[in-house]
Amino acid sequence: MRRAAGESNAAEASALCRSRPGAPLRKRHDGWLRPAALALALAALCQAPLLIGAPAWALAVPLEPLAVALLLLALPPGRLAWLRWPVAAGLTLAWTVLAMERAAFTLLGRPLKLWLDVQLVQPALELMSGAMSLSLAVAAGLALLALPVLVFWSLQRLAGGLLQAGAPRLALAGGALLLTGMAAQPQAPHLTSSFLYDAVAFQVDRMLRMAEERARFQAELADDPLAAELPALDGMGGADVVVLFVESYGRAALDDPRYAPRLRETLRGLEADLRDRGLSQASGWLASPTIGGQSWLAHAALASGLWVDSQDRWDLLVTSPRRLLTDVFRQAGYETSLVMPAIVKAWPEADFFRFDRTYFRADMGYAGPPYAWVTMPDQYTLSVLDRTVLAGQERAPAYAQVALISSHAPWTPIPPVLEDWRAIGDGRVFAAWSEPAIPPRELWLDGTAVRAAYVEAVDYVLRAIGAWLQRPWDRPRLVLILGDHEAGAVVSEPPGAARATRQPDSLVPLHLVTDRPALAMRLLQAGLAPGLVPPEPPPARLALRMSDFRALFLDSFRGPTARPLAGVADPS
C-alpha cells in the first residue's frame, strides 16, 4: 500500500512539473493583496521622476506601468518568464527619459532636447567639479550612472513577481478602473496622466523634426542682409563700444519679489551716481534664445542676427560665411576684442567670430584662486578690459564683447567690490574671499540659501559694473549691458501661486550707458526707455528678440545725425 501511495504522489508531482516546465514547486498566489502591492510598487517606481522639483504632482499616477502590471497579472503564471526583461528595459528607458526631462525643467527651466543636450554633459561635469570636491563629484557621477541600472533591476524583479502572482480577476477589475481613469483624465489631469508616453513621444518627435529645422535654418543663413554690403557706422562718431553679457541676469532678477527689491534698489543707486557723473542711460528688454544655460547661443544670436536656440543651429552657424557685428565694426575701423574668462581650453569656434584679439582664462594674467566654477571675479575681468583694450587715447576705436561670469552657478563665493582698483593687480588680492562660509556642495542642499546666493552674486556684478563705469574714460564710450539668459529654474521659477500663471520665458534686461547723449538718443528713438531701471517687462511674444537687436542697432547708428524725439527729455 505504501509503495502504491508513493507512486501516486510521484505521478502527481511529475504531472505538475509537466504543466509548468522549468518552474519549481511553489504555491500559487491567487489573493489580491500581494499582486496589488506589486502593481502599485511598479507604478510608484515609474512615478519617481515626476516628483523632481514638483511636489504638487505627488498624486499623479502614470498609466503605462499600471497597464503593464495588469497585463502581466492576466498572463498565465510562469509561462512567459522571459517577458519581464523587455518590459523592464522599456520602462527603464521611459523612466530615464522622464527623469532627464524633469531635471531639465528643474535646473534649466526648459524642455529637454535629448539629441542636442547630450553635448551639455561635459559642461555639466565641469560645473559639478567646480561646485564640489573631486571625490564627491566622482561619487555623484557614478551614482547617476548606476541609477538606471538599479531601476532596471528593480523593475524586472517587480515584473517577475507579477508574472508569478496570477490574479486574473484583479487584472480585469484593475483594467476597468484604468479605462475609467483614462476617460476621466481631461477632467482630473493631476490624478491620471500618461507622462511616460508623453516624455518619450516628445523626444522622438523632436528628433524626427530636426531635419526639417536644419533645412529651414540653412535657408535663414543664406538670407544674410549684410552679405552684399556692410553698413557704415557714421552715427557712432568713433566712440568705443563695449557689450557686457551678465551671466544668468534675466527677468526674475528685476521682476521676482524675492530679488527685485534688492536689485532694483542697486540699479536706482547706480542710476543716480552715473547721472551725477554726466552719463546718459537707457534701458529695455530683450528675448534670449536660451534659458538656464548655453550662453554661447545668446552671444551668437546678437552677433549674427539669427535666432540660435539650439546647439544644432550653433553648429550650422559657425561653419557658415554669415557676416557678424564684428565684421561691421572692423570695416568701420574698429579694433575688435573678445574677453571670455570662462574659456579654459582650446575653443576653435572663436575663429568664426573674427575678433582681432581674444582674451581667455590663460591670456588674462590672473594669479588668484578660482571661485568654485568661476575662474576669476568680474571686477578683475573689468580691470583687464581697461588695461588691455580701452587704455589710451591715441588708438583706433575699440569694439569689445565681454562675458562676465561671477553670477554663474554655484553663486558662491562672492568677493566685495574693491574701491581701490590699483590694488587688484594680478588678482592675488581676491584670495582673501575665495573660501565661502558655506561650501557649494552644502549650499545647494537648501533652495532658499541658493536663491539668497543668487541675488548676492547678481548684486555684486551690477555694483562692480557701476564702479567700473565711474572710472575715468580715455575716449568716448557706449556701453551695452545685457543678460545672456534667464537663470535656471531653481532660482527663476516663480514662487507659490505665481508659478501656475507665468510661462517659462527668457527675457533679459538691457542697459545703455554713454558719455554722449546723442548716442543714447538714437536708441531711445528705437524704443528704449530713459534711465537704468527698465520698465515693466512686456509679454515674451512682444519683446524684441536678441537676434533682431543687431538690425535695430545698425539702423540706429547708420546715419550721421539723430532725429529729435518728441516727448523725451535729454537723457543726460
Give the Cβ contact number of residue 272 at 10 Å: 11
Asked if 258 and 451 count as a contact pair (C-beta separation under 8 A), the reply is yes
Tell me, yes or no, whether 126 and 39 share the same domain: yes
| Residue 486 DSSP code | B
Residues 152 and 130: their CA atoms lie apart, in Å, by: 31
Q: Which of 544, 546, 515, 547 is nearest to 529 (CA)?
A: 544
Tell me, yes or no, whether 200 and 248 share the same domain: no
CATH code, domain with 503:
3.40.720.10
Burial letters 59-75, b for 16+ CB under 10 A, else e: ebbbbbbbbbbbebbbe
pLDDT at 344: 87
HEC sequence for 124-189: HHHHHHHHCCHHHHHHHHHHHHHHHHHHHHHHHHHHHHHHHHCCHHHHHHHHHHHHHHHHHCCCCC
Tell me, yes or no, whether 87 and 144 share the same domain: yes
pLDDT at 268: 96
Q: Last residue of some domain: 187, 208, 229?
A: 208
**Residue 39, C-alpha cell as written in the block:** 502593481
Tell me, yes or no, whether 183 and 259 share the same domain: no
pLDDT at 310: 82
Task: Provide φ and ψ at 371, rounded to 5°.
Answer: -110, 85
Residues 486 and 264: their CA atoms lie apart, in Å, by: 17
Of all residues in the chain, what percent are helix, strand and coil, respectively (each to 5)? Answer: 55, 10, 35
CA distances from 204 to 69, 104, 201, 310, 471 (A): 25, 17, 5, 16, 54
Tell me, yes or no, whether 280 and 131 share the same domain: no
pLDDT at 49: 67
Burial letters 2-28, b for 16+ CB under 10 A, else e: eeeeeeeeeeeeeeeeeeeeeeeeeee
Tell me, yes or no, whether 161 and 284 share the same domain: no
Asked if 335 and 358 count as a contact pair (C-beta separation under 8 A), the reply is no
Asked if 493 and 232 count as a contact pair (C-beta separation under 8 A), the reply is no
Residues 314 and 120: their CA atoms lie apart, in Å, by: 13
Tell me, yes or no, whether 254 and 176 share the same domain: no
Residue 256 lies in a domain: yes
Residue 268 lies in a domain: yes
Q: Is residue 425 left, alpha or beta, with left meaning phi > 0 and alpha meaning psi from -120 to 50?
A: left
Residue 230 lies in a domain: no
Asked if 486 and 293 count as a contact pair (C-beta separation under 8 A), the reply is no
Tell me which residue has cell 575688435. 336
Tell me, yes or no, whether 355 and 450 share the same domain: yes
Task: Provide φ and ψ at 360, rounded to 5°.
Answer: -105, -175
Residue 184 one-letter amino acid: A
Residues 491 and 248: their CA atoms lie apart, in Å, by: 10
Residue 191 lies in a domain: yes
Residues 333 and 155: their CA atoms lie apart, in Å, by: 66
Q: Give the chain's residues under pLDDT 50.
A: 1-30, 55-58, 183-193, 497-502, 562-572
Residue 21 lies in a domain: no
Half-sphere exposure (CA, 13 Å, Cβ side) for 266?
19
Tell me, yes or no, whether 311 and 189 share the same domain: no
Residues 317 and 306: their CA atoms lie apart, in Å, by: 9
Give the Cβ contact number of residue 410 at 10 Å: 24
Q: Are strands 544-545 and 507-514 parallel, antiparallel or unpaired?
A: unpaired
Query: Can you say how many angstroms the Cα of residue 260 is from the centroid of all Cα atoms in its chain?
Result: 21
Tell me, yes or no, whether 175 and 271 share the same domain: no
Residue 219 lies in a domain: no
Tell me, yes or no, whether 548 and 456 share the same domain: yes
**Residue 80, C-alpha cell as written in the block:** 512567459
Tell me, yes or no, whether 477 and 358 share the same domain: yes
pLDDT at 402: 97
Tell me which residue has cell 516727448. 567
- Tell me the residue ranges of DSSP E strands in 361-415: 398-404
Domain carrying residue 485: 242-556
Residues 320 and 316: their CA atoms lie apart, in Å, by: 7
Coil, strand or helix at 304: helix
Residue 487 lies in a domain: yes
CA distances from 448 to 58, 385, 490, 523 (A): 22, 35, 10, 38
pLDDT at 444: 78
Residue 481 lies in a domain: yes
Counting the structural domains of the chain, the total is: 2
Asked if 267 and 501 count as a contact pair (C-beta separation under 8 A), the reply is no
Asked if 221 and 317 count as a contact pair (C-beta separation under 8 A), the reply is yes
Q: Which residues contact 474 (CB under 8 A, 6 or more apart)?
A: 390, 391, 392, 393
pLDDT (tens digit, 9 = 90+) per residue, 279-313? 999 999 999 999 888 899 999 999 999 999 888 78
Q: Are strands 335-340 and 398-404 parallel, antiparallel or unpaired?
A: parallel
Q: Which of 52, 54, 83 is nearest to 161 (CA)?
A: 83
pLDDT at 481: 97
Q: Last residue of some domain: 182, 208, 234?
A: 208
Q: Which of 249, 314, 240, 232 is nearest to 286 (CA)?
A: 249
pLDDT at 539: 78
Residues 284 and 282: their CA atoms lie apart, in Å, by: 7
